[in-house]
């Protein structure tokens, strides 16, 4: 059950009028619930500062038990409270917010709830002042929230500074700030210089989705008889009540958003009561600094004003005794006879602290907190790492150590199956080394696989697994990610395995046929079209005989449909760009034939649209 008591307004008429005007203008969910009763279990997690992996470790730990190995909600009716400061210092704040948004929907469907509270770092990003502080906003976060048009312009400026070969690769493959140190350094310089265009694009880009969502969240909540808030509530502010605190914070942040978006409409001076105030619930540190012997009476009055028996806060990171500890104990975080719980244990790798959570279970508090090393020693396995993205996989393929070698799937290409290891990640990969290029009558080369992968990225497709050039045991070749749990198309037919979403599966196959026709790959050979089970993603793994200098139709490639995205990319194709990049792998006749086939494909799909109707061809 949720309720929210009405607080007492103690402002002058002018400020009240301003608040009402802002409320009408911005309508930021003023009546959000902020009190719940009858909740059996609550898990509170404090400051994360961009450390997505540590957050997953917490949520998936058996003693916390809120997500499964696929990061879906299994917490039932539990309430998860994140105490603010998701952003800054660490690099993956956006991923945490995305996860919180999704888990909120899943938890609600199961009878639970997810509460994302505001922290001072959320406030600073909504209002834009986070960029005034060195090292608060890392380049990865800056780029993640950047408005796309400005990011493209800045990327183009960076690409112009690269050597020709790197420039071609960046134009074709794009840029990845997670693995490219020079690119990251470029954006860091932009942040330090406070480039006006980039700063505005970041603040507005952040507020477009995430700021708007955060403003609708609460600053303080009460579950059962416990207050949860980022910094803490002072005795003076406790007289307002949490409903009033939430409304004022929401309204003031909405005002700052409006002023950033339309400065001409918000020209009059504005003096906020909570935003930026050192004693606001987002900044207050008094609960951590007060002397327990002399201040307990004030704590009792504060809690009495709020109708609560305890308050749980973050924001106040403390040093562990002796400088380090592998676990968090109650003695470290509980103050004032268990009335105040200070849960900022430096979870983020930026602080080198300890993952932790405060669990409220049927009226009793339990502190959980331990490092991954402690968990492993006790036999607990952290959740499997998030699958590597294409850029991350490329980096892994280039840099991971070869720790094992065995025979590959056989066939004329005679690929090796290798085991690669980087830190604790061990993955299989296929190494192709045959390099018989045309005009050899029996053409078969790993360079054609590299060309196919580069071209698939240029077209925005994901049907070719990542592959990189690499020398293994003094043998030059190409190393490709191995698709685990995959079956060929003939194998699926034989076993009568059908995807649940047959429409999405058929569309993926349709785009693959278009791509195979483009690169002159034999569509009759279905054994190299693999389907991962159970997600039924479609991959093509062998293009070692493709890219023939032939402008006719590729064998067996009967085109019926095409995605709008792929068709747009084919229309936007630039012959010179493609030739400049794929010239690393293909001969001039092969590139010319590729460009011609693209023109013919576009013409063919255009004629199909005219005769059959766009909706019957494009999806």
Query: Looking at the structure, do residues 106 and 225 belong to the same domain, yes or no?
Result: yes
| Domain-terminating residue out of 216, 236, 253 | 216
Query: Looking at the structure, do residues 108 and 22 belong to the same domain, yes or no?
Result: yes
- How far is Cα 275 from Cα 18, in angstroms, rounded to an integer? 15
Average pLDDT, the chain: 90
User: Does residue 299 or residue 424 have the better pLDDT?
Assistant: 299
Residue given tokens 């969910």 in the structure block? 29
Query: Looking at the structure, do residues 206 and 278 belong to the same domain, yes or no?
Result: no
Query: Looking at the structure, do residues 506 and 456 belong to the same domain, yes or no?
Result: no
Query: Looking at the structure, do residues 228 and 286 belong to the same domain, yes or no?
Result: yes
Q: Which residues of 589-605 are buried (b: 16+ CB within 10 A; e: fewer)?
A: ebbebbbebbeebeeeb
Query: Looking at the structure, do residues 10 and 145 belong to the same domain, yes or no?
Result: no
Is residue 342 assigned to a domain? yes
DSSP 3-state assignment of 114? strand
Residue 346: pLDDT band (50, 70, 90) is very high
Least confident of 237-251, 267-281, 456-470, 502-516: 267-281
| Domain-terminating residue out of 481, 504, 520 | 481
Q: Is 384 exposed, middle or buried (0-12, 13-18, 19+ CB in 10 A)?
A: exposed
Condensed to tens digits (0 to 9), the pLDDT of residues 299-334 reads: 999 999 999 999 999 999 876 654 456 889 999 999
Q: Whose CA is closest to 604, among 543, 555, 552?
A: 552
Is residue 427 assigned to a domain? yes
Query: Looking at the structure, do residues 495 and 435 belong to the same domain, yes or no?
Result: no
Is residue 596 assigned to a domain? yes
Give yes or no for residue 149 having a pLDDT over 70: yes
How is residue 253 written in tokens?
A: 């942040």
Residue given tokens 């429409």 in the structure block? 503
Give percent above pLDDT 70 in the chain: 92
Query: Looking at the structure, do residues 333 and 353 belong to the same domain, yes or no?
Result: yes
Is residue 382 assigned to a domain? no
Query: Looking at the structure, do residues 141 and 66 belong to the same domain, yes or no?
Result: no
Query: Looking at the structure, do residues 491 and 598 belong to the same domain, yes or no?
Result: yes
Q: Which domain holds residue 191?
A: 124-216
Strand order from edge to edge, sheet including 538-540:
486-488, 529-532, 538-540
pLDDT of residue 27: 44
Is residue 385 assigned to a domain? no
Give yes or no for residue 345 having a pLDDT over 50: yes
Query: Looking at the structure, do residues 207 and 225 belong to the same domain, yes or no?
Result: no
Q: Is residue 344 a contact partner of residue 373, using CB atoms and an 8 Å limit?
A: no
Least confident of 84-88, 283-287, 451-455, 495-499: 495-499
Give the CATH number, domain containing residue 78: 3.60.21.10
CA atoms within 13 A on the CB side of 280: 21
Is residue 384 assigned to a domain? no
- How far is Cα 546 from Cα 522, in angstroms, rounded to an integer? 8
Give yes or no for residue 499 having a pLDDT over 90: no
Condensed to tens digits (0 to 9), the pLDDT of residues 55-90 reads: 999 999 999 999 998 899 999 999 999 999 999 999
Is residue 109 assigned to a domain? yes
How is residue 8 written in tokens?
A: 């007492």
Query: Looking at the structure, do residues 524 and 582 belong to the same domain, yes or no?
Result: yes
Is residue 383 assigned to a domain? no
| Domain-terminating residue out of 197, 216, 235 | 216
- How far is Cα 236 from Cα 536, in angstroms, rounded to an integer? 58
Domain tally, the chain: 4
Q: Whose CA is closest to 396, among 351, 436, 427?
A: 427
Phi, psi dihedrals of residue 113, rounded to the nearest 5°:
-150, 155
């Amino acid at each position: 059950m949720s309720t929210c008591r009405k607080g007492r307004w103690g402002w002058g008429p002018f400020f009240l009028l301003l608040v009402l005007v802002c409320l009408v203008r911005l309508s930021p969910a003023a009546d959000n619930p902020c009190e719940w009763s009858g909740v059996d279990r609550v898990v509170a997690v404090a400051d994360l500062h961009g450390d997505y992996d540590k957050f997953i470790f917490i949520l998936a730990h058996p003693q916390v038990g809120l997500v499964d190995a696929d990061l879906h909600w299994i917490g039932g009716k539990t309430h998860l409270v994140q105490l603010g400061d998701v952003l800054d210092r660490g690099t993956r704040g956006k991923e945490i917010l995305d996860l919180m948004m999704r888990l909120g929907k899943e938890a609600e469907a199961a009878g639970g709830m997810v509460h994302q509270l505001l922290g001072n770092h959320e406030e600073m990003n909504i209002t834009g002042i986070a960029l005034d502080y060195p090292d608060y906003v890392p380049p990865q976060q800056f780029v993640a929230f950047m408005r796309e048009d400005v990011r493209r312009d800045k990327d183009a400026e960076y690409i112009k500074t690269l050597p020709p070969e790197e420039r071609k690769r960046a134009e074709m493959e794009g840029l990845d700030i997670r693995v490219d140190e020079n690119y990251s350094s470029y954006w860091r310089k932009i942040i330090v210089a406070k480039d006006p265009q980039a700063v505005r694009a970041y603040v507005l880009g952040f507020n477009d989705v995430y700021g708007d969502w955060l403003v609708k969240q609460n600053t303080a909540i009460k579950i059962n008889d416990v207050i949860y808030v980022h910094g803490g509530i002072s005795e003076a502010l406790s007289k307002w009540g949490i409903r009033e605190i939430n409304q004022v914070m929401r309204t003031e942040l909405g005002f700052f958003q409006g002023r950033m978006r339309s400065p001409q409409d918000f020209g009059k001076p504005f003096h906020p009561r909570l935003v930026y105030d050192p004693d606001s619930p987002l900044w207050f540190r008094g609960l951590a600094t007060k002397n327990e012997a002399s201040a307990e009476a004030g704590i009792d009055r504060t809690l009495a004003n709020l109708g609560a028996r305890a308050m749980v806060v973050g924001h106040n990171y403390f040093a562990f005794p002796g400088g380090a500890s592998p676990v968090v104990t109650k003695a470290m975080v509980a103050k004032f006879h268990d009335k105040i719980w200070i849960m900022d244990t430096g979870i983020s790798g930026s602080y080198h602290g300890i993952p932790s959570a405060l669990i409220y279970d049927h009226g009793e508090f339990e502190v959980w907190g331990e490092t991954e090393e402690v968990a492993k020693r006790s036999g607990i396995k952290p959740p499997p790492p998030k699958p590597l993205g294409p850029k991350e996989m490329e980096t892994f393929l280039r840099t991971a150590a070869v720790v094992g070698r065995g025979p590959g799937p056989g066939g004329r290409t005679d690929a090796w199956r290798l085991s690669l290891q980087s830190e604790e990640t061990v993955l299989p990969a296929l190494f192709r080394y045959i390099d018989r290029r045309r005009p050899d009558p029996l053409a078969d080369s790993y360079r054609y696989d590299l060309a196919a992968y580069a071209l698939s990225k240029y077209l925005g497709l994901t049907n070719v697994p990542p592959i990189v050039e690499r020398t293994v045991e003094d043998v030059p070749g190409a190393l490709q990610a191995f698709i685990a749990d995959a079956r060929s198309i003939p194998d699926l037919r034989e076993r009568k395995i059908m995807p649940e979403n047959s429409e999405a599966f058929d569309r993926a196959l349709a785009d693959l046929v278009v791509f195979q026709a483009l690169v002159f790959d034999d569509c009759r050979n279905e054994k190299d079209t693999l389907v991962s089970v159970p997600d039924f993603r479609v991959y093509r793994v062998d293009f070692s005989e493709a890219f023939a200098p032939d402008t006719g139709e590729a064998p067996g490639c009967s085109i019926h449909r095409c995605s709008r995205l792929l068709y747009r990319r084919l229309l936007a194709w630039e012959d010179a760009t493609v030739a400049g990049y794929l010239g690393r792998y293909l001969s001039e006749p092969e590139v010319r034939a590729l460009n011609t086939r693209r023109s013919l494909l576009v013409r063919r799909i255009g004629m199909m649209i005219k005769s059959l109707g766009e909706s019957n061809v494009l999806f």
